[in-house]
Every structure is written in C-alpha cells, then in structure tokens.
Amino acid sequence: MRKALLLVLLAALLPACSSSTGPVVSAPPSPSLTPSVQPTTPSAEPTPEGIRVPRLRNLRLAHAKCLLHSLNLRTRVMREVSAKPEGTVLAQSIDPGTFVRPRRLVKLTIAGSLLTGEPPNPWGFNFGCCHLIYQPPKDFCSFVRCISSFWGSSGYVIQCVDGEFSKSGGRSGSCSYHGGNSRAYYAP
C-alpha cells in the first residue's frame, strides 16, 4: 500500500511534460487505497492567494522545469560550478511557499561544469573572437555535441547551457530545451 501511495504521489508531483523528461510514473489502481487518503498535488489553478511555489532544491532540472510548467510558471536556468551532480537545482529565485501569479518567472541555478576551453576542432573555432559561424562544416557535429535539430535551424552557432551546440543563435527560443544560451562560437 505504501509503495502504491508513493507512486501515486510521485506521479502527481512529476507529470509528464515531454518524452525527454523520462518515463511517466504511474501506479496501478489499488483497492487498499481508501478514498480518505488523497495525494496532494500542486494546483495550476490560482487560488485567491496565487500559486504556491514548490521547493525545487536538489531536484533534477528536468523534474523542476516539469513541475513549474504544470503550475503555469516560467523558468530561466543559470549554471554554477558545483560538486553536486550536473543538472541538480542548487537555488531558486522565489522562496518555496511564496504565492505568485501565473506565468511568473522562476530563475533556477543548477550545478554543472562550464567548459573553459574550446572543444578540439580542425577549424580553429573558439569562444573568443572573430566571426560568427552561420555555415558550419558538414562534419561539425562529429567534433562537438549538437542538439537534434541542429541542421534544421537557421542562425549562428552557439553553445547552450547544457553544453550542446545549436545553430539557432540570434533567433527567439534558441536553446530553449537546453537551459538557454551560454555563448557564441566563432571562426577565427
């Protein structure tokens, strides 16, 4: 009974936002679960006080973003070097338990290691100077990790916060599923 209740609570707190967040947790109906025991789920409907911001610290980024999305709250992600596992939420801009209006922006600081040097490449591409890259070589993605829609994008090459590269620099929504923009990548 405890396991079934835990799965129901977990499924309620971490709804499936997309297939990239992992498997959907669900529990089979349990006859032993009495109607008097109801899991508490965050409500996306505003109360007179507003939407209560949940505690996100130590959650994985995908779960935190999914939870905030289910509450109709927006996110922005910043990365900080930390000993915690990469992608773990270290801090949030709005204290847990605070009531806010729908669509409010919650800034998350996540653990990660920022690349300090350029990925090795035969073209001398770098993060410092000189020309934005609008037409990368055909084998570009064999030297760096590219997002799945890299070749379908139009813009200049940028690195996303999660370390992957996108060809949507200068366009609205670039790196939106990868933690946001980190920095531009240049040709010498």
Per residue in 3-30, pLDDT tens? 444 444 444 444 445 444 343 343 444 4
Model-wide pTM > 0.85: no
Spell out a b/e string for 127-165, using b for 16 or more CB atoms within 10 Å of the CB, else e: beeeeebeebeeebbebbebbeebeebebbbbbbbbbbb
Per residue in 83-129, pLDDT tens? Answer: 778 788 999 999 999 999 999 999 998 887 544 456 677 888 888 78
Q: Please check whether residues 64 and 10 belong to one and the same domain.
A: no
Look at strands 181-184 and 165-169 and give their pairing: unpaired
**Each residue of 127-167: pLDDT tens digit?**
878 899 999 999 999 888 999 999 998 999 999 998 899 99
Q: Are residues 69 and 23 in the same domain?
A: no
3-state DSSP call for residue 51?
strand
Q: Could you give the number of structural domains in the chain? A: 3
Kindly state whether residues 57 and 90 are assigned to the same domain: yes
CATH of the domain at 102: 3.30.10.20
The amino acid at 48: P
The Cα 91–Cα 55 span in angstroms is 9
Helix (H, G, I), strand (E, B) or coil at 122: coil
Q: How many CB atoms lie within 10 A of CB 123?
A: 13
| Domain annotation covers residue 147 | yes
